[in-house]
Amino acid sequence: MMVIRPIRADDYPALYGIAVESGHGFTSLPVNDELLMRKITRSEQSFSKVVSQPGDEGYLFVLEDTTTGEICGTSAIEAAVGLEDAFYHYHLGKVVHSSRSLGVYKTVDILTLCNDYTGVSELCTLFLRENRREKNNGRLLSKMRFLFLAEFSSRFADRVIAEMRGVSESDGSSPFWQWLQEHFFSVDFPTADYLTGIGQKVFIAELMPKYPIYVSLLSKKAQAVIGEVHEQTKPALALLRSEGFSNRGYVDIFDAGPTVEARVEHIRSVRNSQRLQVQIGTVTQGQPFLISNTKLADYRATWLALDINEYSEQVVIPAAVAEALQVAAGDWVRVTRI
């Protein structure tokens, strides 16, 4: 059975392996022993912390095959970004150059450096190992976070974002960053990406151009990738769009990948989730649902076929699933349709 749970200290070797597999552009998991251990420790502290409003908490989950004990993937939620370190984006906007006397009217795209998303929650660190990209594993790993947001809403902001991995070449270089590097930096994309991942962001404030950048001045290759996603990221973007996420012109400052956002209350899986009471029994037919317990530190989630409708007050689950979710008859669970 595939089960989501909070990460533990003994998951470090698996997390390191995932960081290596994720490759360039996956800023939230740099290949750095100290930082990865710090992420695990911070997550453990966040799950045990008493919280009345979102702060500097980070909740890191792993997907475990309970049959083999293998860690197959990871995903996370940041409670409020930019409170400790500046959280940068470019915003793609427009300016108009016009002259009535000459009869000239020209609309020009510009990129403006900003910190507009400071304080919002973030879906991040989503990675599923290639040999496990089957059935509903990817959806479980991604969408279980909506159940967590719905159940523990006081721990998160009203708005949530997700940064989508932008276009990069096979050698790890970014067409967008190459232009910035040529004109403003002497740091290649993998190095800049790594420095950001380990929290050394001061170089951004020191070297990033302070004034809006005219998109037409960028190289053709750089212009072509603004707001575009990495080939491997397209399924994740499609899933978020189906949940109600949209892009409002914000892109990553390194690879120009889009950032999508939604109000938590408008996310489809949050809005349609139900809290039901557990009964133990046999499920003979049904539709695929995500299901989680309602515990914090002992959070568990999985998916299975269930016979539920909008009027249901209880849900019947097999004993093995109840054991995996650490629930008993009479306990509460939260469910949403896959």
Q: How far is CA 95 from CA 180, 208, 290, 291, in A?
A: 21, 21, 45, 48
97, with CB counted inside 10 A (0-12, 13-18, 19+), is exposed
Cα 224 from chain centroid (whole Å) = 24
Beta bridge partner(s), residue 262 = 160
What amino acid occupies position 306? L
Q: What are the catalytic residues?
A: 230
- DSSP class of residue 248? E
Q: How far is CA 233 from CA 73, 237, 240, 307, in A?
A: 15, 6, 11, 32
Six token digits for residue 223:
């212009």
- DSSP class of residue 144? H
Q: How far is CA 81 from CA 60, 153, 162, in A?
A: 15, 16, 11
- Say if residues 25 and 230 touch (Cβ distance below 8 Å): yes
Contacts of 313 (CB under 8 A, 6+ apart): 276, 277
Give me the helices (H) in the chain, please: 12-22, 33-48, 137-151, 175-183, 189-197, 202-207, 220-224, 234-242, 268-271, 319-325
DSSP letter string over 42-73?
HHHHHHHS--SS--S-EEEEEEEETTT--EEE
